Structure 1
Amino acid sequence: MARDSIVILGAGIVGLDVALELSKRGYGKYITVVAEHLPGDEATIDYTSPWAGANFSGISGGDANALRWDRTGYSLMMRLIDTQAEEAKYLAKTESTEYWDEMPASDKIRSMTEYLRDVSIISQRTGKEKLQVTDANSINTQLTILPKKDLPSGVAFGIKFTTVTINAPAHCQHLKTLLSQPKYGSIPFLRRRVSHLQDAFISSKTKLVFNCIGNSAITLSGVSDSKCYPTRGQILLVKAPSVRKNIMRHGAKYETYIIPRPMSDGTVILGGFMQKGNWSPHVVPEESESIVKRTGELLPSLMLDGQMEIIRAAVGLRPSREGGARVEQERISPDRLVVHNYGAGGTGFQAGMGLAVDAVDLAAKTLKGLTQKAML
């Protein structure tokens, strides 16, 4: 089994999580990562991961796949933090409050309360009744029903829990560094642009490709997925060391969020926007003003303490897809398999490890065959 028996196409967080999952299963020494953009690159709109918030939140969809990927991603990240694993250097447990202007689906609420830690559900009803709920893993969930006046105007539902916040650019660079080490398989990262999916089979020995190309799934020959589209976001990176909590508000036509960036000397991500189909890479001053206004309303102390300093504004294009992420296999030829893993939109960091588990599981038969051949 050669070094390039397995190729991971794409080096955003989704591709990095696949590399990490393969490495943990013992396949690191058979992998090459091929990508046009690599961790550390921040000068292009085409590389989305460095611009992410990033955190675990309720922003994802309510379908069964999204709920499963979220649950797995949250559980694995928490385990990394709890065990003080090397991969958790730029991850942190953070208190979080999230609000929805419209009630989330009951399946989503039920799923979140089954695994999130330190959960308090806040619902807009009459009275102050409290109900204790315990899931199969004995995680206590407190349902707090509050009067309407105790919630921000227009909010229908809220939840408090312990989230995971991530220093996105530092985490990606850190994973690349770890994966390049012998312990993880000394995985090489090859900077290369491919014009066709077939080009990812970089030698006659390449038998398995994990396609983690994000927005390039729209244009790359051999994929050209018409269900894919960018979701533009604009954020502000600010200096606000007093902010220690994650706060979000989900609206029908907006997302407002305040995300402290761990291991960053007090920087915070403020956002944002969810503009479907918008490819514009340009910072819009009016949008920055809107972000300041909305985040100030969500957390008044952000503006009142006078310590906030805007460092820069940035734009990112989330790689989204109608119907959710595509995680499935495609047989290119009798001895060549592609496992697609793209279209996670704004959930790459929170669901990436869950996506990786499913993607690698899909390739289990091929991986076993490659291993057996290598032993001959």
Structure 2
Amino acid sequence: MSARESSKHIVVIGAGVVGLTTAVKIQEKGGYSVTIVAETFPSDPKTIRYTSLWAGAHHVSHADGDKKQEAVDIATFKVMWDLSQQGGEAEGSFLRLEQTDYYYDGRDTHLDWMPNFKPLPESNLIDGAKTGASFTTVTIDTPVYCNYLLSRFLARGGTIVRASVQHISQIAQGGGHVFTSSRAGKGPHVDAIVACPGLGARTLGGVEDKNVYPTRGQVVMLRAPWIKTGKTASHLADGLWTYIIPRRSGDVIVGGTKEENDWYPVARPETTLEILQRALALCPDLAPEEIRAQRAPTVDDLRSIVIEEGCGFRPSRKGGVRLDVDWVPGAKGKIPVVFNYGHAGGGYQSSWGTADIALDLLDKSLA
């Protein structure tokens, strides 16, 4: 009997950054044979149904003193820092840079664990900011990184199935290949399911978590390879924050918005204008140098370097991330379902840390 045949068979539902990271973590543990079942994969064209490609993204923890959240964010940062080092396995997915955060509410940043962390003196704050900090972090080229995770998963022996799962029982009773006509009913039985459905947890049968809701975020991508540092200004009073996220490729993501329970699937022109206005105010260097040399830039000066505008639905959840276990009927008795979803806007920042917890829950359930 081959190692694969003797392994426990795990199906991961969902191929966003959380599902991919969790699948990689389980597959590389050893003793598990993992199949990802998802409707959309990162190599597909961008769609509103796949949030992970729309993210900025950078590693700036949102824990704000929550020790449990901070622990998973720190664990994730350590992995990403190793991956991003020169010659690292996924160096091309990341850009290491100096990040400056400004806070209008005077909060304590709680980010002193980040490399080169320094509170900003009052003289270095922007207008209206009460506190701030600088540190070194990584930005993530999300399409490149998600495809790296997928290729790493496949290279380690993982398999994928493209399907729209209607109910968790379909997987529990039929296995990961129940949706493929050539292998339906012929694949191995499933020993456990790991559910990472993101926003799909609202409607996935057997889960139907009504605490899950979308937080719409709109972004604009600019071509500005001269921008080498990241900036964020938090406007908590009105639910907005402005960010400048350069990528290794020379593209820069600017945003952003937080619109709870807003399902509008494409960019609103008026929001794009408002984002560009805020971004230019925070970082006038976004405009091309030849314009800045002559006069103060305007939003119109940014339009020629706009590559794309769009939006994504962050998978938010009342009560925060769900990390627990339930049991459902399988082909040969009850099997565990490990849940890992509800990351809101922190999926990238906490992906490896929550994957660690999901793997521990899986190990204990199958012990």
Common topology (TM > 0.5): yes
**What SS class does the counterpart of residue 117 from structure 2 fall into?**
strand
* Aligned residue in 1 for 2:36: 33
Q: Secondary structure at the match of 2:116?
A: strand
Deviation of the 1:60 alpha carbon = 4.6
Aligned partner (choices 24, 30, 41) of residue 20 of structure 1: 24
Among 227, 230, 235, the residue aligned to 1:246: 230
One of 8, 11, 16 as aligned partner of 2:15: 11
TM-score normalized by structure 2?
Answer: 0.85
Q: CA deviation at 1:218?
A: 0.9
Partner of 1:119: 117
Q: Say whether the 8 Å CA contact 1:41–1:47 is kept in structure 2.
A: no
Q: Alignment partner for residue 66 of structure 1, among 66, 69, 72? A: 69
| Partner residue, 2:213 | 229
Aligned to 1:169: 143
- Which of 199, 208, 219 lines up with 2:203 in the alignment? 219
Kept in 1: contact 2:51–2:313 (CA 8 A):
yes
Secondary structure of the corresponding residue to residue 162 of structure 1: strand
Q: Which amino acid aligns with 1:32?
A: T
- Cα distance in 1 for partners of 2:241, 2:67 equals 23
SS at match of 1:165: strand
CA deviations over 1:146-171 (Å, ceiling 9, x no partner): 23x54112212211111111100111
Structure 1 alignment gaps of length 5 or more: 123-145, 370-376
Q: Which amino acid aligns with 2:116?
A: D
Partner Cα distance (1:223, 1:216) in 2: 9
Report whether the alignment pairs 1:257 with 2:243.
yes
Q: Are residue 317 (structure 1) and residue 339 (structure 2) matched?
A: no
* Bigger Cα displacement from structure 2, 325-334 vs 348-357: 325-334
Moved over 3 A (4+): 1-4, 58-62, 82-85
Asked if the contact 2:46–2:53 (Cα under 8 Å) also holds between the matched residues in 1, the reply is no
Tell me by how many angstroms 1:64 deviates. 2.9
**How many equivalent pairs are there?**
333
**In the TM superposition, what whole-angstrom CA distance separates every residue of 1:107-132 from its partner, at most 9, and x where no partner exists?**
xx44x21x21010012xxxxxxxxxx
Cα distance in 2 for residues equivalent to 1:8 and 1:82: 29
The question of 1:187 aligning with 2:191 is answered no
**How far, CA to CA, are the matches of 2:202 and 2:69 in structure 1?**
21
Match of 1:134?
none
Q: Provide the rounded CA distance (Å) in 1 between the counterparts of 2:28 and 2:118.
A: 34
Cα pair distance change 1:199/1:162, threshold 3 Å: same
What one-letter code is carried by the residue in structure 2 that aligns with 1:295?
A
Contact 1:42 1:50 in 2 (8 A): no
Aligned-residue Cα RMSD (Å) equals 2.0
Structure 2 counterpart of 1:72, one-letter code: A
| 1:54 aligns to 2:53 (yes or no) | no
1:296 to 254, 274, 280: 280
Quote the Cα distance in structure 2 between the aligned partners of 1:351 and 1:232: 19
Q: Tell me, yes or no, if the aligned pair for 2:8 and 2:31 is still in contact at 8 Å.
A: no
| Alignment partners' CA distance in 2, 1:314 and 1:162 | 28
Does structure 2 conserve the Cα–Cα contact (< 8 Å) formed by 1:120 and 1:161? yes
Counterpart in the other structure of 1:328 = 324
Measure the CA separation in 2 of the matches of 1:6 and 1:40: 23
Distance 1:211 1:83, change over 3 A: farther
Mapped partners of 1:246, 1:177: distance in 2: 28
* Structure 2 gap ranges (5+): 176-187, 292-300
